[in-house]
Amino acid sequence: MVGVPRSSGCQLCRQRRVKCDEARPECGNCRKYGTICPGYERAIKFVSGKHTIRSKGSRPLQTKCRSSIGAASSEASPSTTSTLSAAATTPESIGSGGSRSGTAAAVSTSLVASLQPNRALFIGTLMDMAQTRLASKDVSTFLGFFGRLRFEEFGTAAALDGAICSLSLHLMGKELADDSLVARSRTVYGWSLSALQKTLRHPTKWKTSETFCSAVLLCFFELFAGTTSAETWLQHAQGIATLMEQRGPAAHAQGNDAAILFSFRGILIMSSLFFPTSDKCFLAQPEWRKVIYNGQGQSIYSPENPGFSMQVVNSFFVCLADMPEVMWWGYPVRQALLAGQRVSPKRLQHVAELAAANHERFAAWYEDFKKLGVELKEVPSKDPSSPYQVVLEHPVGWLGSMHMGYWASMLILQELMLQCEWPVDYRESQKELVQNILRSVESVGSGTMGPFRLGYSIRIAYEFASVEAQQWIISLLDKFSKRYAATDKNSYPSPRADAQGYSF
């Protein structure tokens, strides 16, 4: 038996049989009583057997549970709430709906939005389905990493459950070319973000592991799916940084929190590198440096690998966390020198010494990285649009991402040393680094997770590439942004109009 609700009100008002004002993103009734508005999805209901009659006065279990969710308080973490709230996007502004062609798409919104006893089972099943059905190993590894986390409130924390479902549905939809899953993921993202904002205003829940994980997963969603603003993920990442600083380093040293930090630290560093708010990334502070180096969190880069592999991975991010400080002081100096402006010798010396110290640390890290036995191969290109006939093949995508990140960081450091007249000529090395990055794009950038892996390195290489190379990169971004919205070409400067840069 199939039925479609005739009322156009939200799901909860239809269930309560009360008039709904149909306000967006949440109706007046839900806002008045402090519940999370489930939205206006007109879900199809399948009913088997005879109708049952509910006695008067009884209320559905989910309504009773939902009335206790979403209590707001202005006492907790106001700066975090305001920063994350700036990233909010309603379901209507990012799109919703779509056909119900798949089981996950058909039931995700209604089931996840309700606090039913079997919700944890559903979410676990969805995660297993994603890992089983996805052909790409790196996607299933990424999702499997979060699937191994264990939370006491799993299945009852609306923001966390919705964040897991929205990201899983989106990655599955992209991998399987299923637009209905992608559309449903956006709907779930919308109300999950609203649930997160309410949790951040709670006097105690704002600092829980579940809230931290929810914020990270929703930021990942924004990186992959995009919203109406290209800077949403940035605002969200800055809010997460504030949340982490208020929770303190000790809260992220072990268990779920360490694992979540390990998965997200690269994004935190990138937000500080490209859009700095201070001269240092907070992860470069001694107390945080110890956490990201000595922590025991599981890594998506080398799951179940020996301890030395984890040490190399951790050391890379320790080095990378210093790069925002280099850019803070070095970028204005480089731009001034390129414009023919005078820079004080003291400032030049400071930038040169800062860049040289970081250059030395990265060089030492690379010696350890080579001990992992990662051998690059030169193979014929399979991409007819590639300007290279022979490209570099990386055996492990995630390690290839770090390899490219090392080249990109050395590009920045050597460029600053050149500009500050350091007594070493790095021009030939710079040309080689650019070519190494661009020749690695085909291998490391393949698959659903490919654009995520090379976002940092290709952005840096773009600054040093010739106009022809820049135009080729822009053409790649049109393809990548369909899988990873953060590679939107609109966030890149226009290709250079001069002959500067390193050619193919």
Q: If DSSP codes are grouped into helix, strand and coil, which group holds residue 502?
A: strand
CA–CA separation, 307 vs 313, rounded Å? 10
Q: Report in angstroms the alpha-carbon separations of 438 from 444, 466, 501.
A: 10, 12, 13
Does residue 355 carry a pLDDT above 80?
yes
Does residue 353 carry a pLDDT above 90?
yes
Length of the chain: 504
pLDDT-derived band at 51 (thresholds 50, 70, 90) equals very low
pLDDT of residue 17: 74
Q: What average pLDDT does the segment 372-379 reach?
A: 91
pLDDT-derived band at 139 (thresholds 50, 70, 90) equals low
Task: Dump pLDDT digits (tens) for 214-241.
Answer: 999 999 999 999 887 777 888 899 999 9
Bridge partners (DSSP) listed for residue 377 = 393
Nearest to 197 by CA among 109, 114, 88: 88
Listed by start position, the domains of the chain span: 78-275, 322-491
159 contacts: CB under 8 Å, gap ≥ 6: 192, 195, 196, 199, 210, 211, 214, 218
CA–CA separation, 469 vs 503, rounded Å? 7
Q: What average pLDDT does the segment 439-444 reach?
A: 96
Does residue 456 carry a pLDDT above 70?
yes
State the chain's mean pLDDT as an integer.
78
DSSP string of 185-209, one letter each residue: HHHHHHHHHHHHHHHHTSTTGGGSH
pLDDT of residue 121: 67
Does residue 98 carry a pLDDT above 70?
no
Hey, what are 325's tokens? 């400080």
CA–CA separation, 4 vs 70, rounded Å? 28
Task: Dump pLDDT digits (tens) for 19-39.
Answer: 888 887 788 887 777 677 777
φ and ψ at residue 379, rounded to 5 degrees: -130, 155
Q: At what angle do helices 450-464 and 397-419 cross, to 10 degrees?
A: 20
Task: Dump pLDDT digits (tens) for 73-87.
Answer: 233 444 555 455 444
